[in-house]
Amino acid sequence: MATSEYYKAHREERLAYQKARYAQKAEALRAYQRKYSKLNRKAQREYAIRWRSENKARMKESERRRYALHREKFAVKNKTYRKKNWTELKEKRRLRDLKYPERIAARSAIRRTRKLGACMERVDYGAVLKRANGVCAICLKPFDLFGIHFDHKIPLAKGGTHAQDNIQATHAYCNMAKGAKVG
């Protein structure tokens, strides 16, 4: 009996044997693959980027075929995913912003600084509060726990910088009343 005939005749037995061998060594193979990936992460990433750039048409065709096979599944998944996750994402952001109000102030300041093209550096708002010693820089009255604002001594609109030495802690009311005035 020729080799190919033997393989054809005993196909099921060979497949069962291969599955059993793989099951015995599965964990060792996975560990080896994890270790190899960890050691060669950069090379694998470069290869993947190069392959994608060389095979754009092939990838597009593969995605098109996959989408055509599972069109209904994708349509339902996208619809429910958008509805469910959008509300969850909004809620997570809202809770995060309540927990870290300084992030809101920092994002706003960064946006305004970039828009005006002013100098910008990272500001430690905790250090600004310590420097204030619990007293508003405008009215010189002590802070209450609510309504602390961080104000630019020289406003960004007047050419000030978003830097540690140009930021002061104030009452919300004092800051709003000051507006874009210097000092």
What SS3 state is found at 76? helix
Q: What is the structure's pLDDT at 50? A: 92
Q: Which helix (H) or strand (E) holds 45?
A: helix 41-54
Residues 113-166 have pLDDT tens digits of: 777 777 778 888 889 989 999 899 999 999 886 778 888 888 887 888 888 888
**Distance from chain centroid for Cα 47:** 24
Q: What is the pLDDT of residue 78?
A: 59
* Per-residue pLDDT at 183: 67
Cα 75 from chain centroid (whole Å)? 26
- Residue 146 phi, psi (nearest 5): -115, 150
- Record the pTM: 0.41
**Which residues are within 8 A (CB) of 134 and not within 5 positions of it... i.e. 6 or more apart?**
142, 143
pLDDT number for residue 61:
92
Residue 159: which of 92, 113, 108 has the closest Cα? Answer: 113
> Would you kindly state where each structural domain of the chain is located, as residue ranges?
44-93, 100-178
Q: Half-sphere exposure of residue 45, counting CA atoms within 13 Å on the CB side?
A: 5
Helix (H) or strand (E) run with residue 8 in it: helix 3-9
Over residues 53-99, the pLDDT tens digits come to 999 999 899 888 988 888 877 776 655 555 566 777 777 777 777 76
* pLDDT at residue 80, rounded to an integer: 56
Task: Encode pLDDT of 8-60 as tens digits.
Answer: 888 888 889 888 888 888 888 889 989 998 899 999 999 998 998 999 999 89
**What CATH code would you report for 100-178?**
1.10.30
pLDDT band at 173 (very low <50, low <70, confident <90, very high): confident
Query: 80-116: string of b/e by CB count within 10 Å (b at 16+)?
Result: eeeeeeeeeeeeeeeeeeeeeeeeebbeebeebbeeb
